[in-house]
Amino acid sequence: MNVIKSVKVAAIISQAILMLWLLLTVTAYLFQRQIQLLYEGGSFNTEAFENVFVFAHIPQLLAFAAGMIVNYLMLNKKRSFRLAPVIIISITAALLPLLNRFCLNGQLVFTAHLGGSDKLSASSQFCEVTEVLMYPLFAGLIIALAASAVYAYSKRNLRKQ
């Protein structure tokens, strides 16, 4: 298998893992009440249930979009700027954990001040579930980072030959 084909296979695998993350996150939002019931048990007040939006999903969705763009650039037939994928995905992978933690902490402080203990409990429990679901996103970004580095290096060597 040549280098270009292996990069394309890695980009497709990364794309599939990123789509898996999106599917799991949407499923978690659809079944949010059942997730809360698993955590709370009998003490959960189902009448006062409100859906929780996790602020950390904003940078996660941006990272998802960046990963999809990088994979598209590597799969595209036109190879104009070969360093673009590695630059985009490196910045994304470096900033995502910081922005994710900042958003989660900000949301929990905001909810504690305005919502009270019930909303803080529901919010923190759903944040825990979605934080575990973030592992496929990181895996997809890491695969895209490795593939983009090989992509940039292989093109440089092919031009020299």
Q: What is the pLDDT of the chain when averaged over all its residues?
A: 85
Alpha-carbon distance 142 to 19, whole Å? 14
Look up the pTM and report it: 0.86
pLDDT for 89 equals 94
Nearest to 106 by CA among 89, 134, 127, 135: 127
Token pair listed for 132: 């575990």
Alpha-carbon distance 110 to 37, whole Å? 23
Per-residue DSSP letters for the chain?
A: --HHHHHHHHHHHHHHHHHHHHHHHHHHHHTHHHHHHHHHGGG--STT------TTHHHHHHHHHHHHHHHHHHHSS--S-TTHHHHHHHHHHHHHHHHHHHHHHHHHHHHHHHT-HHHHHHHHHHHHHHHHTTHHHHHHHHHHHHHHHHHHHHHHHHHH-
Question: pLDDT tens, 109-147?
Answer: 888 888 777 777 778 888 888 889 999 999 999 999 999
Longest dimension (CA), the chain: 69
Contacts of residue 30, defined as CB under 8 A and 6 or more positions apart, other chains included, come to none
Question: pLDDT tens, 4-41?
Answer: 788 889 999 999 999 999 999 999 999 888 877 777 66
Token pair listed for 125: 């429990």
> Tokens 């579930």 — which residue?
129
pLDDT of 161 over the 80 cut: no
